[in-house]
Amino acid sequence: MKKIFIYGITALIFAGCTINNQPEKDNKAAEQEPVVKEEKVTDTKQKEIAKPAKKISFKFYEIVPSQIEVFPYNKLNRNTVINDKRLNNSFYVKGNFIRIERIYTSEIGDKYGKIAGKNLLVSMDDLAESNRKAY
């Protein structure tokens, strides 16, 4: 009876020692991984800061009617002609002035202006040139 009791206690001691040692190794490995990830994050932040801001040239135009119709258009390339059939889902904007980055022509011959910094088009028929300077 004493031998069984002693064997049981020694088995519990050895089993308890091995269980406690295994999680410590996992915790050390888990602690080292986030440190490496933080270093990578700081490197990317430094690269983003080093990039200069993209400068957009634009010209102000005055909105003649009280509201102007705006069209979202995603495929704007410098050398393409705008397809009038793809101008869908228009919405109206109120305001006095609008910044136009570039003027495009459509297949029919209408002129559309691209709003500076956005993928939005405005019909140039509703706009008049303004003397307001870009700041």
Q: Is the pLDDT of residue 124 over 80?
A: yes
Structural domains of the chain, count: 2
What residues contact 135, with CB distance under 8 A and at least 6 apart? Answer: none
pLDDT at residue 70, as a whole number = 92
Domain assignment present for residue 135? The answer is no
Read out DSSP for 27-88? Answer: HHHHHHHHHHHHHHHHHHHHHHHHSPPPP---EEEEE-SSEEEEEE-----TTPPBPGGG--
Q: Is the pLDDT of residue 44 over 80?
A: no
Q: Which residues form the domain of 25?
A: 1-51
Q: Is the pLDDT of residue 26 over 60?
A: no
- Do residues 19 and 43 both lie within one domain? yes
pLDDT at residue 68, as a whole number = 92
- Do residues 78 and 46 both lie within one domain? no
Domain assignment present for residue 2? The answer is yes
pLDDT at residue 84, as a whole number = 79
Domain assignment present for residue 66? The answer is yes
* Rounded-to-integer distance, Cα 4 and Cα 32, Å: 43
pLDDT digits (tens, 9 = 90+) for 54-92: 677 888 898 888 889 999 887 776 667 887 787 888 899
In the chain, how long is the greatest CA-to-CA distance? Answer: 105
